[in-house]
Amino acid sequence: MKPREFDPAEPELMDRPQPVSRELEVDLNNLVRINRNFGSHRLIRRFLRRWLTPGGSYRILDLCTASGDIPRLMVDWSRRRGITLAIEAVDFQLSTVAIARRWSADYPEITFRDGDARNVEGESGAYDFVFCSLALHHFSEEDAVRVLRRCRELARRAVLVADLERGPLAAVGVWLMTAVLYREPMTKQDARASVRRAFSFPEFADLARRADWQDYRHARFAIARQAVWWQAP
């Protein structure tokens, strides 16, 4: 397998300082569709079924939220089951937060704010659940460890961190996907870069160990997804 390609001086296009634009909106909408059709939403629903009880009330933190499609998914799923959520959705990109806030106008359960996932504000155990999806590949190894450590500090009940798994099948799949379905320049360039910047399966587990996670689980999921999670006894 090829080694991970990560250059902090060359961030993905969506991570670069920029105003709200049509190009950014198209890219974020493409990411929503990719999340819906290629496994990320399915993975989140799997853990919602495991962790949330009908009629319950929970406080959730979603880090690196992008357009907020994961929080909206959580709210839609929970409303049908009489579950009450209060979600704080955080992203460092101000223009992305502005778009997410506008797209989530019908979701008063979600509060958006800008912040850095590596040192996001909050007291220890402030949230029942902390989620972070498709984001660790945006960070260096050291910063990814910081994100994982902060997730664990903020969660009282459980944490789920999911991302791509680097590998030849993922690389081919993303290349074909962006050659046929999602051909807009920002989406194409960032998606292909994401696979090269993603962590392998052993590397991902090593990040959790370096973040001092105890009794965590690690598994592969469709399609080219992997996740680590911790749940309180």
How high is the pLDDT of residue 92?
96
pTM of the predicted structure, to 2 decimals: 0.95
Q: Is residue 7 part of a domain?
A: no
How high is the pLDDT of residue 154?
98
How high is the pLDDT of residue 170?
86
Q: What are the beta bridge partners of residue 163?
A: 226
How high is the pLDDT of residue 83?
98
Count of the separate structural domains present in the chain: 1
Q: Is residue 69 part of a domain?
A: yes
* Spans of the chain below 70 pLDDT: none
Q: Is residue 148 part of a domain?
A: yes
Q: Is residue 144 part of a domain?
A: yes
Beta strand ranges found along the chain (DSSP E): 57-63, 84-91, 110-114, 127-133, 155-164, 217-221, 225-231
Tokens 């009282």 belong to 156
> Hey, what's the torsion of the CAs at 89, 95, 96, 101, to 10 degrees?
50
Q: Is the peptide bond before 223 cis (omega within 30 degrees of 0)?
A: yes
Q: Is residue 206 part of a domain?
A: yes
How high is the pLDDT of residue 1?
80
How high is the pLDDT of residue 169?
84
| Separation of alpha carbons 35 and 133, rounded Å | 10
CATH number for the domain that contains residue 117 = 3.40.50.150
**Cβ atoms within 10 Å, residue 175:** 14
Assigned token pair, 17:
């300082």
Q: Is residue 121 part of a domain?
A: yes
Q: Is residue 136 part of a domain?
A: yes
Q: Which domain holds residue 106?
A: 13-231
